Structure 1
């Protein structure tokens, strides 16, 4: 196998791993989701924003890869979120974005949205 073939095979394996990881996150956090119109629906589960990975955060309405990484980075730099409003301090999150996903998150084990 030449170098080009090795790189192609490596890329295919990487893509398959990313897809598999995404599927596992979807299955484990599948209780939060979007309806057919892209509107968030509550399926009885709230994600702990203080412990969730970037991949898990991406299932929330309005949260893509960049904002998910911003949440994790902010949390690592400043510690756990103590209020929902503190999420507004994260780059690319404001009150409107937070309003989209706040019903689906919690800050601790017993918090309410």
Structure 2
């Protein structure tokens, strides 16, 4: 007589945990990006830096980092503006490109964490 094995598949629970981990990772990754970009935001009074925020759409597993002042886009896009040392235009785009691997690892770590629990 051959040995028997019983397999119990919890696909929905696994998918739900993976989605929760991805949403948590997206939030943490976006917060990481916000912190890195805050070090480069042009500063005069600090209003632009303080306007930075993270928004998460857990249902679609998406996160966004934004700065909300009337001049945020111009400060980001106008490469002719002069800034203090270490402060630059592209203060969000450049850190996103540079930190992409780190953000992906943050998300992956949160998914792994949820799947182990």
Alignment TM-score, normalising by the size of structure 2: 0.36
Larger radius of gyration: 2
- Greater relative CO (CA pairs within 8 A, separation 6+): 2
Alignment TM-score, normalising by the size of structure 1: 0.37
